[in-house]
Structure 1
Amino acid sequence: MPRDRFRLPAAVYGVLRDGERVLVLRRAGTTFRAGQLSLPAGHLEGGEDAVAGLLRELREEVGVEALLADCRLALLVHSAPEHESDLEYLHLFFVVERWRGEPVIGEPDKCSELVWVTPAALPGDVVDYVADALHAIERGEPLLLHGW
């Protein structure tokens, strides 16, 4: 009998950049990292490519529209499971320097605040792997292994 092929989930992250600043949101109403700052992000759904997933998440979470041409894959993060029942993940971080619309909280049941931050001086409550990713992007690194 053939063995099932290993699979891992993928998530996309939008690094909305306004000069030196990056938009982060405070997670709320969820069990994962509630109260911490993260980027607009989400899991890929079946049948959508990575950029389509990113554009969907940007619309849903912060109410902005971007074009494929304005999204640059900046970093791939392969993270180990955080706890026994967790999975490995591939996280794709896209820098987005142009978009239409003013960022707003699009999912008030999952987000309580939008904040512009500078990667060089991140608040201490940014999700750890997101902070590591933002620093890796600033250094121009294409790959980050987290938790291995």
Structure 2
Amino acid sequence: MRPTYPAAVYLCLFDADRILLQRRAGTGYRDGELSLPAGHIEPGESATAAVLREAREEIGIAFARGDVRLALVQHGRADGDAYIDFFFTAALPPGAAPAIGEPEKASELVWAPVRALPDDVIPVIRHGIDALVRGESYTEYGW
């Protein structure tokens, strides 16, 4: 029997030396902690299509396919689950203002210095961001 892993996408949206984080709320998973705009890849959906959809839904920005770039794959195990995570990067488009698009899932948007992340970033997410900053394209967490 082959193992199967859920897959998720994360958007690392940069504005100069800052990264956009959102505070989770009302989800039942790590509420009150900071994460990236993110979500699961839906059946029949590519990773790129998923990150574009999540960006529209969660922060109200409609990126074009060429605006996002796959930068890191993380095979992580946290909180009892193993995942394949795809971290995409993008720059804040001129004139764009991210806003909370799903207030039932996020309570706050935070621009944080990418090299001095707040203490309450979810550890598996922090690991991915740190690996990305180091220029890695693949990392593992929790194994």
RMSD value, Cα: 1.3
Matched, 1:111 2:106: yes
In the TM superposition, what are the counterparts of 1:13-24 in structure 2 within 5 Å? 13-24=10-21
Q: Is the CA contact 2:78–2:124 (under 8 Å) kept in the aligned structure 1?
A: no
Counterparts of 2:106 and 2:97 in 1: how far apart (Å)? 16
Letter of the aligned partner of 2:98 in structure 1?
P
Q: Are the equivalent residues in 2 in contact too, given 1:70–1:98 (CA < 8 A)?
A: no
CA contact (8 A) 2:74 2:138 kept: yes
For the Cα contact (< 8 Å) 1:66–1:98, is it kept in 2? Answer: no
Match of 1:89 among 83, 92, 96: 83
Give the counterpart of 2:36 among 33, 39, 60.
39
Q: What corresponds to 1:57 in structure 2? A: 54
Asked whether the equivalents of residues 17 and 23 of structure 1 are also in contact (C-alpha less than 8 Å), the reply is: yes
Displacement of 1:98 in angstroms is 4.3
What letter is aligned with 2:6? P
1:12 and 2:9 aligned: yes
Percent of aligned positions with the same letter in both sequences? 47
Give the counterpart letter for 1:121 in structure 2: A
Point out where structure 1 has 5 or more consecutive residues left out of the alignment. Answer: none
Distance 2:87 2:27 in 1: 21
Structure 2: segments with no counterpart, 5+ residues: none
- Between the two proteins, the alignment pairs up a number of residues equal to 142
Match of 2:133 among 132, 138, 144: 138
Stretches of 4+ aligned residues off by more than 3 angstroms: 98-101
Whichever residue aligns with residue 147 of structure 1, its letter is G
C-alpha distance in structure 2 between counterparts of 1:59 and 1:99, whole Å: 13
- Provide the TM-score with structure 2 as the length reference: 0.94
Provide the TM-score with structure 1 as the length reference.
0.91
**Bigger radius of gyration among the two:** 1
Question: 1:65, 1:99 within 8 Å by CA — same for their partners in 2?
Answer: no
Separation in 1 of the partners of 2:64 and 2:84?
23
How far apart are 1:6 and its partner, in Å? 2.1
